[in-house]
């Protein structure tokens, strides 16, 4: 009978993995250098996370904003605006501003290596879109319209986040984010 997983140790390792991935990226990530850098072994990483792919998936899941927490309480257009501005703040200034770089890299890798990263990237996008689309549905938008608005909001803000990381132009990207948020929440 296998030993039960030490959840505290697993959480500690996941936190260290997140920091490592934020500093070194996903593209060339290998378990042996990662393990050495965080003071463990490749064997221990495999024990706690089963595979490189699962480790990356769990790191991304732990790093992304909780869209349900942000959008499940949306009942009117003002709630939607508040949630959307909260998302923008989280990915540009808040606790998600570091991990969002991993997401942006994952999405880029999915375009060039869909076999390895495509499914994980698609799942990561869907996890964000679902709760946002559901918020638009609660506001009375038919499903296709709700999905289109959610896509515009999430993908638009994510693209602006990437622009901001590259150009460091806070004022311009904040102004563009306001236009997207007001546009999708406005009518």
Q: Which structural domains are found in the chain, ordered by start?
A: 7-61 (1.10.10), 64-186 (no CATH)
The pLDDT value given to residue 27: 73
Over residues 108-159, the pLDDT tens digits come to 888 888 888 888 889 888 989 999 999 999 999 999 999 999 999 999 999 9
Rounded to whole angstroms, how far apart are CA atoms 150 and 154?
6
Stretches in the chain below the pLDDT threshold 70: 1-5, 94-97, 187
| 100-112 vs 143-167: helix crossing angle, rounded to 10 | 110
CB distance 44 to 107 below 8 Å: no
Q: 180: closest CA among 103, 81, 91, 104?
A: 81
| Alpha-carbon dihedral 20, 99, 158, 183, rounded to 10 degrees | -170
Alpha helices (H) along 6-113? 7-24, 31-38, 42-49, 52-63, 67-71, 77-92, 100-112
Total number of residues shown for the chain: 187
What pLDDT, on the 0 to 100 scale, is given for residue 1?
Answer: 55
pLDDT score recorded for residue 71: 96
């Amino acid at each position: 009978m296998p030993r039960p997983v030490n959840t505290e140790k697993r959480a500690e390792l996941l936190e260290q993995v997140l920091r490592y991935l934020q500093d070194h990226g996903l593209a060339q990530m290998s378990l042996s250098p990662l393990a050495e850098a965080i003071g463990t072994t490749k064997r221990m990483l495999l024990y706690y996370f089963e595979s490189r792919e699962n480790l990356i998936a769990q790191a991304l899941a732990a790093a992304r904003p909780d869209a349900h927490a942000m959008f499940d309480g949306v009942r009117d257009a003002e709630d939607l605006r508040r949630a959307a501005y909260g998302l923008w703040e989280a990915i540009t200034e808040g606790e998600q501003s570091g991990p969002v770089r991993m997401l942006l890299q994952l999405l880029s890798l999915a375009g060039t290596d869909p076999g390895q990263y495509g499914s994980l990237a698609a799942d990561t996008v869907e996890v964000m879109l679902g709760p946002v689309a559901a918020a638009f549905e609660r506001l009375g938008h038919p499903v296709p319209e709700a999905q289109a608005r959610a896509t515009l909001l999430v993908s638009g803000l994510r693209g602006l986040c990437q622009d901001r990381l590259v150009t460091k132009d806070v004022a311009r990207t904040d102004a563009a984010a306001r236009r997207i948020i007001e546009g999708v929440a406005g009518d």
